[in-house]
Amino acid sequence: MKRIVSLLALLSVLMSTEATTYKVLKLNHPQVFINGKLAKAGDTFDDNAVIRWTKDKQAMQVIDMDSKKRYLMVARPSEKKELTALEILTRTNRLSTHAPGDEVEPFDKLEMSIAQAYDLFDQITIPTDIVVNDTHYFRATYIYGDARITKRLKYENGCIVIDKSLFHVDDKQLEPRDITLSIDYVIRTPANAVFIKDEIQITTIPDHLE
């Protein structure tokens, strides 16, 4: 009996040490609670922490203290307002990943690595091995009201970057909104473009929520 109790105690310790620790980097609204306490930049918590939202589209940017990977946690209208951190971070439609082998063609590999839905808070980065320069680049197209808008996408450190400059068009700043993107790759001229992926849902999260 004592051996069983000891084994259970050891298992409990091992499970607790496997929990990932996160640190809050940024919030867009002050009324977010972690384990019953108001969240603020610098707070730390693990996978089992209970996050309580008070409004839709509240957002909290966090960093995994071990891997240094950043994640965005968002309150959605269709979900409960109280969830564990793990439940939020493992949504299949937001954090789904693909692991194509090396034998996959670059364009197919990129298409598989692009999720079907993203939350846009500060920026979205999508790694790619495809060459980008003055004559070879990625562009996004979306519908805004009655207008069809096409924008060249940023490229930094081997990643396609999608940010809110997407809404800066003809020297005018449009109000960011939820949109559906298609992405293609221009080779020398817009007429020579390779289709990458469409129907990419972008949910725009405000920097500051009233």
**Alpha carbon separation from 94 to 73, 76, 97, 114 (Å, rounded):** 10, 12, 9, 11
CB 210 within 8 A of CB 126: no
* Residue 16 scores a pLDDT above 50: no
Mean pLDDT of 113-132: 93
Mean pLDDT of 163-172: 94
* Residue 155 scores a pLDDT above 70: yes
Residue 101: predicted pLDDT: 53
| More confidently predicted of 78 and 26 | 26
The full set of domains in the chain, from first to last, is 2-90 (no CATH), 106-204 (2.60.40)
Mean pLDDT of 18-28: 91
* Residue 114 scores a pLDDT above 50: yes
User: What is the distance between the alpha carbons of residues 95 and 79, in angstroms, rounded to a whole number?
Assistant: 16
Q: Count other C-beta atoms under 10 Å from residue 68's C-beta.
A: 7
Coil vs helix vs strand at 174: coil
* Residue 7 scores a pLDDT above 70: no
Beta bridge partners of 184: 139, 195
Question: In this structure, what token pair is assigned to residue 60?
Answer: 């909290």
Q: 55-105, pLDDT tens digit by residue?
A: 999 999 999 999 999 999 999 888 899 999 999 988 744 433 344 555 678
User: In sequence order, which ranges of the chain are alpha helices (DSSP H)?
Assistant: 2-18, 85-89, 92-95, 106-113
Residue 42: predicted pLDDT: 96
Query: Can you say whether residue 207 is alpha, beta or left, with left for phi > 0 and alpha for psi between -120 and 50 degrees?
Result: alpha
**Alpha carbon separation from 32 to 48, 77, 145 (Å, rounded):** 16, 15, 33
User: What is the distance between the alpha carbons of residues 166 and 49, in angstroms, rounded to a whole number?
Assistant: 34
pTM for the predicted model, two decimal places:
0.79
| Percentage of the chain lying above the pLDDT 70 cut | 85
User: Starting from the edge strand earliest in sequence, which strands make up the sheet with 37-38, in order?
Assistant: 37-38, 33-34, 50-52, 82-84
* Residue 163 scores a pLDDT above 50: yes
* Residue 43 scores a pLDDT above 60: yes
Residue 104: predicted pLDDT: 72
> Residues with Cβ < 8 Å from 197, sequence gap 6 or more?
111, 114, 182, 183
Mean pLDDT of 147-164: 96
Strands (DSSP E) along the chain, which ranges? 21-27, 33-34, 37-38, 44-46, 50-52, 59-64, 70-74, 82-84, 117-120, 123-127, 136-144, 147-152, 154-156, 159-163, 168-169, 172-173, 179-187, 189-204
* Residue 8 scores a pLDDT above 50: no
Number of residues that this document lists for the chain: 210
